[in-house]
Amino acid sequence: MPIPLELSSSALLRFGDESLDLVELARLLQAIGEAPRVGSAARALGVSYRGAWGKLVRAERLLGVALVDRVKGHGSRLTDAGEALAAAGRRFERDAVRRLEAPASAFGEALAPLLGPRETALRVAASHDLLLQAVLADG
């Protein structure tokens, strides 16, 4: 039985000593596009509001382009560049996972004999309640 592997993708863009994970950034931009409040997007991704804003500010600095317009009282709106990056990230992840499914399955099959048989938990429930047994028997 093959070992199921969880696939994840990343695309690092290097700027000298710094790098930017474009897939992670695209996920954040997608979440902002769906819930135009950075706080809501951050919660959906399991990151802090401050962390999400920090990623955006850093990305905008490194890329030299605005990704989000701040709309006072209405949250945030993706710029054209932000929308393009979010869409490119969606395509990249979809294509990467699709292309990696077969190699990941083969890798899992190769791992199976090395890791030995995997134990499966078996739970047994029983009752000594005669009324319950009678109801179940009449089913």
What are the residue ranges spanned by the domains of the chain?
Answer: 12-115
What per-residue confidence (pLDDT) applies to 125? 64
Q: What is the pTM of this model?
A: 0.72
Distance CA 95, CA 23 (A): 12
What per-residue confidence (pLDDT) applies to 109? 85
User: Which CATH code for domain 12-115?
Assistant: 1.10.10.10
HSE on the CB side for 50, CA within 13 Å? Answer: 0
pLDDT along the chain (139 residues), means of 10: 77 92 96 91 94 96 95 88 96 90 86 75 66 69
What per-residue confidence (pLDDT) applies to 91? 94
